Amino acid sequence: MWALPDGRRVLLGDATVAAYVVSVYPFDEVRDQAVTAERAGRSYTARSHGLKLDMKIGLATLRPPPRPRWITATVENWCARKLLGVRTHGTSPTGVVEWYRTRSARRVVAATASLDRVDLGSLAPLDRPLGFGFTEPPRQPSHVRLRVDLRRPECGGRDRRSDS
């Protein structure tokens, strides 16, 4: 997912993945296409029709231990807002309650990307809100591994967990 300079939010993914993501976050455009990603050490590549991304990440700057959701919703949320300008707990625009538990955080130290054969420019801090969900990503280019817990109101409050 990404936000274009004009504010439009775009999602790439096969139909099944895209349907799930769209049920949590609103998008202006959804492209039904496979996305492949590969990792070799600290280098990552992602490819899809029209997308080409290569990035290298630094060493882990943060590796918190496993913790309960109440820590994520209170202590971690407060610290993340004050130190990084991000939130770790909130409700998505579609009403899904979310907990983002960081497993590791690393700086992106180098990257090149193009979309529809247009170079996306040099690596730089975010200069505007992206508007996907209840929080914004870190301002500095980052690679963050998360454990995401979701509580959907239409599922009777049952939870869904994923590690990404």
- Provide the residue-wise pLDDT of the chain in tens; the chain has 164 residues: 888 889 899 999 999 999 999 999 999 999 999 999 999 999 999 999 999 999 999 999 889 999 999 999 999 999 999 988 899 999 999 999 999 999 999 999 999 999 889 999 999 999 888 888 889 999 999 999 999 999 988 765 555 556 55
Cβ atoms within 10 Å, residue 39: 9
From first CA to last CA, the distance across the chain in angstroms is 14
Q: Is the dihedral of CA 26, 33, 128, 38 positive or negative?
A: positive
